[in-house]
Structure 1
């Protein structure tokens, strides 16, 4: 028997959203956008194919310079990785020793506890409030001498709820200055809450704040894997020490730069998706479901013991959603036809549960 880490015995596997096995099933389980990359982005990827035998720029210099210009910061305040989830893992590796604590609201992004345990840290999961929001008072009370990293997911995945500027401001006053607070804004482009906390604003005013962004969601590059952190220079220096070498491919870097060039066109797509989100949530509420406001490209149904039954009804209608067993379902906003199928399925599911 090969000796391996004992800690892995309690480490859950991260579960990818289910994929369809037939053409008549729509996949709304992974928070992917329903749009393929823009033509200009495809051209940028194609132009890089002939140099696939060459290692990419490990520093992602061109991309970091573009992002620095966009956010009005120093390029050295940006570190990249294979999606924001990989950069989050870097942040834990750079801040936590064995037995240190990573604190976050729960339920939130499913990878947070997995990443903490992978790096030998202890995940501290603070329950959400009854209306599915971060409980910042409870989070502040959960900070200990072992707390090294705090993650705020805004908008939160899977609930779609936001954290207000006032809430985060008050929370930051209670966080020790040597504890890094990471604001994960993977779904920032879909956020229409006028009171929301803005990660970049907190980064520019606090020395212990980092921000996570990704090209996997609104930019539609989930399959190419590129994300980044905006963080103090000394933090970014350490992220580059713990990163996987050459993890962000040249294809991903070129596609990300091309996406930044096409943000006006991308914005039109985002507005279409936000409009669809509002339509779907309104119609689902009309069928009788209680749906909290969502500012991601998905919405959340708190179902508790009815989770499996509703999951089954959606599947009968050819809809794959993301189950959190015993808690609820997260359903991604797709194209209008897929969304109509969701509304019909949830109408049938509500009739079944109410019978």
Structure 2
């Protein structure tokens, strides 16, 4: 397995010398593929023209790729933008979600006038589906379930997800956040066609920011049955999806073998780092995404002192994006020195 190549362009998000490795966001360490860059560059020649008033090409492109109907797809500014459209379409009320989870849900709930109802993870770092079901009541407007979960990377059993959806019933919308689905083995993925057929209240949220490495282009989408998707589409921002997004998605789909290779490299590096940390007594949950969750206390402080930016949590734990082999060695050294050696190359 070929390891990750070192990035050719350093991050400018932080001043020189303040952060050696920026692993705070779950970004793809690779730049976009050359064919994707070229496709986007070509659209710049017509950047003086507005994109579609309401997006039609992008939903159709995604629908064709997934074997769905365009009226079952709604798109927006990344998964975050689409999630906000979902919440605004559903109105005020309560949003039930695990905690910790993607920080954006608390922010978006506040913007949409929803009250967040956080449900703690279980002892293994999994979303506690029975507890989440008990938190659902007549005020609940939306339930969010992540698979894989952010920030632990844990994976809910497919049967547990199906059982949960049946228990919630058809009246309360459930948003299944699959932002990291491309990092799952094919056998671990859910049959979304079957789920959507059985559960008209189900919405599936995905993004091109993670595995596809297009975070800066802000391309997300949501899948669902057309009556519910129609409500969300009413929140679509006119001229809100740039022409470059359509070109980038089309080129990305055409380059799928190359993208799959990149995903394999990232997951290999993730496994290598987790194995090295566990060998020194640092237990981390088995991750199914492009990051690792490293329990605290003190982990965030240790990494920060080593010049490594991670996503911190109140108890001192962190989520770190999988970067290059150099970043892997830096993380391992920071967390194990002086007692342990670096992971093998």
The two structures have a TM-score, normalised by structure 2, of 0.90
Counterpart residue number, 1:340: 329
What is residue 331 of structure 1 aligned with on the other side? 320
Q: Do the aligned partners of 1:165 and 1:198 also contact (CA within 8 Å) in 2?
A: no
Q: Is the 8 A contact 2:31 2:213 kept in 1?
A: yes
The residue that corresponds to 1:230 in the other structure is: 223
> Which of 298, 311, 314 is 1:322 aligned to?
311
- Give distance in 1, aligned partners of 2:338 and 2:291: 18
- Separation in 2, partners of 1:87, 1:349: 46
Rounded Cα–Cα distance in structure 2 between residues aligned with 1:88 and 1:327: 28
In structure 2, what is the Cα distance between the partners aligned to 1:243 and 1:116?
18
**Residue 9 of structure 1 corresponds to which residue in structure 2?**
none
Inter-CA distance 151–293: structure 2 relative to 1 (3 Å threshold): same
CA distance in 1, matches of 2:47, 2:229: 27
Residues 1:284 and 1:242: Cα distance change in structure 2 (over 3 Å): same
RMSD after superposition: 2.0
SS in 2 for 1:174: helix
Q: Secondary structure at the match of 2:320?
A: strand
Q: Is it true that 1:49 corresponds to 2:44 in the alignment?
A: yes
SS at the partner of 1:134? coil
Aligned match of 1:21: 15
Q: In structure 2, list runs of 5 or more residues that go unmatched.
A: 1-11, 341-345
Contact persistence 2:79–2:206 (CA under 8 A): yes
Higher relative contact order (CA 8 A, sep 6+): 2
Aligned-partner Cα distance in 2 for 1:29–1:112: 18
Note the 1:1-355 alignment, pairs <5 A.
Answer: 19-22=13-16, 25-97=20-92, 100-192=93-185, 194-195=187-188, 197-303=190-296, 306-307=297-298, 310-348=299-337
Q: Distance in 2 between matches of 1:268 and 1:136?
A: 33
Q: CA deviation at 1:244?
A: 2.3
The corresponding residue for 2:4 is none
Once superposed, which parts of structure 1, at least 4 consecutive aligned residues long, lie more than 6 Å away? none
Assess, with a 3 A threshold, how the Cα gap between structure 1 residues 198 and 336 changes in structure 2: closer, same or farther. Answer: farther
* Distance in 2 (alpha carbons) for counterparts of 1:283 and 1:82: 37
